[in-house]
Amino acid sequence: MITSLSINKKIKYLFTSCAVVVLSILYLYYEYQNHKELFHQNIESEISLYYKLYTKTFTASTKQKNILIHNSDTINDDLVSEFAKSTPLMMDQSDVKKTKYSLTVKLIEKNTPIDTHLQKNINELENTNYSINFQENSVKLLGKVTDDTYVLIVKNFEEITQINSIIKLLFIKILFIAFFNICLVLYYIHLIKIYEQTQKELYEDFEQLQIDTKKVAFEDTLTGAATRLKFDETLKDLVNIASRFKEQHFTAIMIDIDNFKSVNDTYGHDYGDIVLKEVAKTVKNNIRKTDTFARWGGEEFVILSPMNSLEHSNLLANKIRKKISEIHFDKLECVTCSFGLTQFKQGDTIQSIMKRTDDLLYKAKQNGKNRVEYL
């Protein structure tokens, strides 16, 4: 399907596909960053809550030190138990360290020996109560408890697991976007197919319209003879050529059906149309392919015969006259025609040659009809 498209349509198709892919990637990257930021915000909110709770507990009873969230004077035991169930804590002691839970808390006093990096972080807590630092699989909160006491809270987490969850969610979105893109491409191809089909149909209709228009303009719908327009164009060309080249002579024959008005008056116009068609058919069957046979108007017809002499055209006219008189009609005994025939002469114009032909036809009518007058 795609290989059959034109170059412009292929470019549009590729541009659309690339645009959709780029927008999809940007959307997925935005979603990933958004989820990651939301994940970090949740972790920060959670660990800062631990810090605030521990600070309040320690401030209420400094003797407790590393015994976390256990002060019956300030905190209800039931609250401590419920909190402990949802956020299990680990007590960090100097002699024993147990990493049983995901959260560890370490109390740092002024005289506690610590490493240089941690001391540097403590020194940076002058303008804030705590700072949070994310690492690969944990987050650390270092905060003030008193002026000489600090707490280090470390929450371990499997960020990879969280990221995997995000990736799974994004994968579902990718499938949805891919499905949407496929539907979009198929719809786009469908539109192209409809467009091409429509263009093809419009082109075929246009061609047929041209044929029909040409047929209406150049062919008489009743008799099948050429129209007056076609005749005028042909006569103009013949006169121009014959005026320049003496050997390119031609003849013009005008035909009129005798007593045609009485046929219409007696048998009706429908029967008159039958007579016209039969006469036209007979004339067309007896002229050359190079000759132009046209309907002049009403019951009159004309023939233009290029490269034909007056003598040969006279023989042709009389042959046609005889053939017409032999046509069998069920309501008429016979139909006859009168002919006016002339040859192009140097100096002739369209008007002069047709005037002479018409005069000769009129002469044939005056001399008894069913005859050929030529000059």
Give the catalytic positions in this structure. 299
Residues paired with 149 in a beta bridge: 109
The dihedrals phi and psi of 96, each to the nearest 5 degrees, come to -135, 140
Pairwise CA distance, residues 231 & 297, whole Å: 12
Pairwise CA distance, residues 239 & 247, whole Å: 12
Q: How far is CA 99 from CA 81, 86, 91, 150, in A?
A: 20, 17, 9, 20
Closest CA to 138 of 37, 34, 47: 47
Largest CA distance in the chain: 150
Which pairs with CB-CB distance under 8 Å and at least 24 residues apart come from 130-138? Answer: 130/48, 130/51, 132/44, 132/47, 132/48, 134/40, 134/43
Contact call for residues 343 and 351 (beta carbons, < 8 A): no
Contact call for residues 82 and 134 (beta carbons, < 8 A): no
Residues paired with 109 in a beta bridge: 149
